[in-house]
Structure 1
């Protein structure tokens, strides 16, 4: 309960401004997401974790003045909860303060203006309940991912349906515990799903409503140790025969280069290097870049797809819709980058749409469901009775590389994993026991 303890101390701390007392607990909750222990245990504060946190905020579009405020919040947590003076973060705070002053042209101690906050909150659906609108706005100010925003809002709405009321301020720990128990007992959800529901409700009550929650008692789902799905080489060949066009190319890249489904959809033209024969993956999981190879079999179709993407780009520029999503810092540094086809998606959507947060009309990348549905159809036509998903191709990529003699460290780099143990969970080598040790039933009659 260290985060709750921090919130209590911050509220009573006379040396902090009203603005800091409001935002420091929110930034600490954002910081706690990156910690394995979560919000219940003491958070680890070291130079690496703080710099990584700041880089994550930068990648998600946080301006320097917000990163300055976030690092100061971690510094305050270190002083009040951990009762330490190490690590020294003064140089990080000073650097961000200088950047922030140049951005805002005012002293950073001044609270953010309504115009700044409105820009960060973006567009919200006015037909939704007021509390949901506030929740979306706060999550955007704290630079949560869009997928996280959708998931948290969905759980708050399900909780509202569970308790039979939209006035959620009158409910508390017992009601949340009852809801989480019903998810485990009646809905049979996975452990990760139940944890996500609890995180969404904790954010809503403690960050949006400012309500202090005690211990939540509920029936917990036991984490499963299931083996993920992967495909044999023969199954890969049969699947490839069933796919055409863009979906075939995405299959070649996900399986052939070990890309995540999201990384494939977010691939930009500038990150495909035909001469060197590799692909640069930007902002992968954990906001890490990496290099993986470009499959030779995919090159002809990839060149054609890039030409299609460039035609869409020229059309958008002519019709006045040249904008493309860029991380906040890059959008400021390169305001005319959208005029260059290099920054456009390799797999653009066929239609333009309005961004739900900024309200900008642009052509985004292909939707998540398209390739997933195409793969399901291909599995059915290829008569492969496996519950495969796009991520199964990444498991197959790692497995087949190791089977062909590639060392595990190389596979780890291509996959973009920090820990080799994570890579090992992707490798599913068939046991060789069949050659030396047989099942007892297969030895009946040998005597």
Structure 2
């Protein structure tokens, strides 16, 4: 980047990107993705300042991603969104040429769904915390990040409910808390509470709380209700607050365990954490649950997204049977 020419160093530009994203209430993961694509875009243009070029280079970069890097349509669209944000909201130089760029068309793909028996075979190959997380992914229809970010106060054992806070699209929702995980989850929380108590005794035991809640309620970051259901094994030093904090468990812990369990179980299909969410929705529809109810449990904004699962039922919505099976 030619920061000297434009009075903006590379670090200052990225800081400004993060600030503008924070003002617009973008999630940390979205901000991280935008920073990643902006850095790749500038490096691809030989470290020149992005204000020195515009629409043509953006088009060439997206063409490079699609033709040479062979990225997925969703990845290409994410890169386009990041560069639109850079020029429109950070550099305040919206480019007319960008208006001619249309998002890449995503292929229509069916979700990977396991049978009920296959789900049980995979779960039987898991133990400990990954097992408990996988049971919530399947039993509550959670996304992996939502499961990792669960707090103690989000669990309502009496009502059998689980509250998802600031899910995808910054939307809260309520879903079912499986009764089958009640006792294992209570025992897990007992162990977590003992761990957090030991960390607090050593001067740590703090967790991140949303917004300025730690200013409104000074002890909120140490209150049991705000603790992570699945805390990380180690603490980290938070410079701003000068405290030792506990982050939630990293998603890769569950991802690696589930992938290994899928291989061990002998299930022919590819098994990932999101497979449990797909299976949750499909099995509910198979059992006769209303599609609107399933939509609310999954947190889909549009029922058309939920309707995708009707295509992977054992029998279609009209109960169609193959002509080969007629008379069998």
TM-score of the two chains, using structure 2 as the length reference: 0.86
Find the aligned partners of 1:148 and 1:205 in 2 and give their Cα distance.
Answer: 17
Q: 1:414 to 1:208 in 2, by over 3 A?
A: closer
SS of 1:349 mapped into structure 2: strand
Residue 144 of structure 2 aligns with which residue?
261
Residue range with higher mean Cα deviation, 303-312 or 285-294: 285-294
Contact 1:184/1:219, CA 8 A, preserved across alignment? no
Residue 52 of structure 2 aligns with which residue?
170
Find the aligned partners of 2:17 and 2:154 in 1 and give their Cα distance.
Answer: 35
Residue range with higher mean Cα deviation, 384-393 or 231-240: 384-393
SS of 2:184 mapped into structure 1: helix
Residue 314 of structure 2 aligns with which residue?
430
Residue 275 of structure 1 aligns with which residue?
158
Find the aligned partners of 1:186 and 1:254 in 2 and give their Cα distance.
Answer: 36
Q: 1:203 to 1:421 in 2, by over 3 A?
A: closer
2:142 paired with 1:248: no
Greater RCO (Cα-Cα under 8 Å, separation 6 or more): 2
Give how far 1:218 is off: 5.7
Contact 2:204/2:243, CA 8 A, preserved across alignment? no
Q: Return the structure number with greater strand share.
A: 2
1:345 to 209, 216, 228: 228
Find the aligned partners of 2:118 and 2:322 in 1 and give their Cα distance.
Answer: 27
SS of 1:401 mapped into structure 2: helix
Contact 1:184/1:220, CA 8 A, preserved across alignment? no
Residue 211 of structure 1 aligns with which residue?
93
Q: Deviations over 1:349-395 (max 9, x none)?
A: 01112459878641011012111111111111112232332122111
1:313 to 176, 188, 196: 196
Q: 1:223 to 1:409 in 2, by over 3 A?
A: closer
Structure showing greater radius of gyration is 1
TM-score of the two chains, using structure 1 as the length reference: 0.65
Q: 1:399 to 1:356 in 2, by over 3 A?
A: farther
1:237 to 120, 127, 143: 120
Contact 1:259/1:394, CA 8 A, preserved across alignment? yes
How many residues are aligned here?
A: 316
Q: 1:169 to 1:328 in 2, by over 3 A?
A: same
Find the aligned partners of 1:215 and 1:221 in 2 and give their Cα distance.
Answer: 16
Find the aligned partners of 2:51 and 2:240 in 1 and give their Cα distance.
Answer: 26
SS of 2:174 mapped into structure 1: strand
Q: Deviations over 1:115-170 (max 9, x none)?
A: xxxxxxxxxxxx96432233223323443211111111111111122222243332
Contact 1:230/1:392, CA 8 A, preserved across alignment? yes
Residue range with higher mean Cα deviation, 224-233 or 406-415: 406-415
- Over the aligned positions, Cα root-mean-square deviation in angstroms equals 2.7
